[in-house]
Amino acid sequence: MSEQECIFCKILRGEAESSVVAENELCLAFLTISPFNTGHTLVVPRRHAATFTDLTPAEAAALAQLSQQVAQALERSDLPCEGFNLWMANGSAAFQDVFHVHMHVFPRLKDDGFKIEVSWPQPSRAELNEVAAQLCTALEKR
């Protein structure tokens, strides 16, 4: 998807409507049009980047900082909020639907119906050590 077609880029350029919550030099936070709960906010970088790994370190930091500020605002507000989730999907396999990095910050309520059902495997320590070694090797290749 090109920057011209990307809905988040259109919002950032002022070509599409949004309900802005907060912003910083590198990111914008606005309410999603499909909220899970009231106050569900998206935080996006101003520069078009498809996934989290496409961000610069400064953009990643700004995204985290603005997401934290939005979460703090949810906790301080009068909106129903007993907790919150941060959610980011990267790539089709992870269910990313808009290919412009975006962090979901959404308030949670005890019985709001949100569920993630998974079966967590329990690999052996040897398997974990092998995976850790592979990741360490990959980190050294930067």
CA distance 137 to 142: 9
Indicate the helix (H) or strand (E) that contains 68: helix 57-76
Beta bridge partners of 11: none
pLDDT score of 130 more than 90: yes
Q: Please, what CATH class does the domain formed by 7-116 belong to?
A: alpha beta
pLDDT per position as a tens digit, 73-118: 999 999 999 999 999 999 999 999 999 999 999 999 999 999 889 9
> How many percent of the chain have pLDDT more than 70?
99
Reported as half-sphere exposure (CB side, CA atoms, 13 A), residue 45 has a value of: 23
CA distance 41 to 70: 8
Q: What is the number of other CB atoms lying within 10 angstroms of the CB of residue 94?
A: 9
pLDDT band at 1 (very low <50, low <70, confident <90, very high): low
pLDDT per position as a tens digit, 37-77: 999 999 999 999 999 999 999 999 999 999 999 999 999 99
Annotated domain spans of the chain: 7-116
